Structure 1
Amino acid sequence: MVNPWRGEVALTIDGERHLMRLTLGALAELEAGLAEGSLVDLVRRFEEGRCSTRDVLALIVAGLRGAGWPGQAPDLLAAQIEGGPMAAARAAAELLARAFALPGEGG
């Protein structure tokens, strides 16, 4: 079960439901791997609708790893995400929003 208070978001990959969560370690790993800018720049790109598929993939990988998944981005290159790229982008945006929301703010 998804716990939004912990920042969790669910995503179905290759028919299997996975939880994602951006822990501090996952955020640090995400920021280190960003092609450009910082986490603030990443948030800005999502808010302005300028996120790239690389941004979406990086967030999904970070969220999966934050929830204990041992994989890496190449493991997802041929994966089927239920709902397609738009569902992946929505889940990534929700994951990012939940990571930075204060208790009682949406989610």
Structure 2
Amino acid sequence: MANPWRGEVELVLGGERRVMRLTLGALAELEAALEEGSLVDLVRRFEGGACSSRDVLALIVAGLRGGGWQGSAADLVSAEIGGGPMVAARAAAELLARAFALPGGTG
């Protein structure tokens, strides 16, 4: 079960519950994977509803890897995500929000 106080978000991948978390290493990997802009630009795209499927995929991969998963973006191409693309997009947005939220919900 995901612990929101640790910035964790759950996602069902291939029928298995996985915990995603944006650790510092996962954030660095995410920033390197972004083709344009920075993490701040990524946050702005999500806040403005202008995120791409590439943004969602990069966040999901980074979050899964931060949660201990050893896969890559290529592994997700044919993976079944519980709830489909909209659930994945919501989980990615929640993951990003939790990574930058201050304890106690302020921020």
TM class, shorter-chain normalised? over 0.9
**Identity within the alignment, %:** 78
Which TM-score applies when normalising by structure 2?
A: 0.97
User: In the alignment, is residue 16 of structure 1 matched against residue 7 of structure 2?
Assistant: no
Structure 1 position 76, deviation (Å): 0.4
Cα shift readout 1:59-103 (whole Å, capped 9, x = no counterpart): 000000001111110000001111110000000000000000000
Partners of 2:33 and 2:62 in 1: how far apart?
10
Equivalent pairs counted in the alignment come to 106
Structure 1 position 14, deviation (Å): 1.0
User: In the alignment, is residue 60 of structure 1 matched against residue 79 of structure 2?
Assistant: no
Amino acid at match of 2:85: P
DSSP 3-state at the match of 2:19:
strand
Partners of 2:84 and 2:64 in 1: how far apart?
17
1:20-99 paired onto structure 2 within 5 Å:
20-99=20-99
Structure 1 position 20, deviation (Å): 0.1
Runs of 4+ residues over 3 Å off in structure 1: none
Structure 1 position 35, deviation (Å): 1.1
Which TM-score applies when normalising by structure 1?
A: 0.97
Amino acid at match of 1:42: L
Flag structure 2 segments of 5+ consecutive residues without an equivalent. Answer: none
Q: Match of 2:103?
A: 103
Partners of 1:81 and 1:8 in 2: how far apart?
17
Cα shift readout 1:8-43 (whole Å, capped 9, x = no counterpart): 000001111000000000000000110110000000
Partners of 1:105 and 1:74 in 2: how far apart?
35
Partners of 1:90 and 1:37 in 2: how far apart?
21
Partners of 2:75 and 2:86 in 1: how far apart?
19
